Each structure stands twice: as structure tokens, then as C-alpha cells.
Copies of this chain bind each other. A is one copy, B any other.
Amino acid sequence: MTERKLAILQIAQGLFMEKGYTATSVRDIAKSAGVEPASLYSHINGKEELLDRTCFEMAEKFLTGIEEVNDIYFDAAQKLKMAVDTHVNILTNHIDAAVVFQRDWRHLNEVRRSEFIELRNAYEDGFRVIVQNGIDEGLFSEVDVKFAALTILSSLNWIVEWYDPKGKLTASEIAANLFNFTFTGLKK
């Protein structure tokens, strides 16, 4: 990917985040990039390529992250801590792309949407493995594994709705809070 193409992709991600993929026009992207709409097409195949790249590049980052965590033989509590940390880091380091990844993957074409959902399931599976490990090791209480993994991911994913890079909480503070919340709960 050329520098120019990367720049266009990042401009598009910013607009997609702000207005949503569907509500962002090729003309919007061209205007932000400072060129005529037709000029974009010497860099990209079409608007959908920008969405596609965003969704799949993020999916790969997440998958690589969880695989690294599950390859290391720590106990489940440590693994969970690492997984939460990795997830929060990816989200906060690519907040524009993360919002698009979460919200607009539905607008991928049918084939790519299926592929995307598979990657997503694989990622969720990584969290299920951690929860199951925790139960087997006697560290976690005997919860519904699927439900627990989904709930953990809920708390992690909602970050994109309120995260502010200039806010008072750093990424690692957010991650630490989330791990505590997930592991210990509110109860005193």
C-alpha cells in the first residue's frame, strides 16, 4: 500500500467514524483528501475497499493478539488480564478504525461479511478458552462460558462509544479497571 493510499484510508476511517460508512460519500472522502472524486479511483477500487480493509485489518490485529495470549502458559487470570490489555490497546491505538470495525462491518458484501463473522467468532473463541481454563483451574466460578465471554467482550467493546484520547484515563488505566471489574465485580 502506497503512502498516498494509506493516507486516503485514514481519512476515510475518520469520516466513517464520524458519519458512518453509508452516510459518507466518495465526494466527502475526496474533499477531505483535497482531490476530485474521480482521482480517488487511481488509488482504490471503490468505496467498499476502504471499509473492507478497515474491518479485516482490525480483525487480524485482534486475532493475532488473542493467539499470542493463549500461546503463553500463564494461568487464566493472568491470561485474561493480558487479553483485556491487548484488546484495549488495539482499540485505543486505532480508535477511528475500531469504531468502523464494530459498527459498519454489516455493510460488507455478503461473501466478505461471512468471512468477517468467522474471524470474529474465532476471536470470541479465544476468550471462551480463557474462561474455560479459569473454571478448570478453579480460579473462576462455574459460569456459562459463552455468556461470560460475550459479557467480557461487551465491556471491552463499548469503550469505543466513550473513549477520548484526551480524557483523563489512559489506555492502561482503562484496561486495569476493566480487568478488575470483570474479575472481581462490584461486591465489596
Contacts and interface: CB of A to CB of B under 8 A. Distances in A.
A65 interface: no
Interface stretch (A51-59, A67-75, A134-142): A134-142
Interface stretch (A4-12, A28-36, A40-48, A152-160): A152-160
A102 B70 CA distance: 33
Q: This chain: how many copies in the complex?
A: 2
A185 B139 CA distance: 11
Contacts of A138: 188
Contacts of A103: 103
A186 B183 CA distance: 5
Given A107-B23, A140-B187, A184-B185, A154 B158 contact: yes
Interface string A111-143: 000000000000000000001001000111101
Given A20-B106, A139-B188, A184-B187, A147 B169 contact: yes
A188 B140 CA distance: 5
B188 A185 contact: no
A162 B150 contact: yes
Contacts of A106: 19-20
A134 B186 CA distance: 9
B144 A177 contact: yes
Interface of A: 19-20, 22-23, 77, 80, 103, 106-107, 131, 134, 138-141, 143-144, 147-148, 150-151, 153-155, 157-159, 161-162, 169, 177-178, 180-188
Q: Which 4 pairs of residues, A with B, have the shortest CB-CB distance?
A: A185-B185, A154-B158, A22-B22, A184-B185
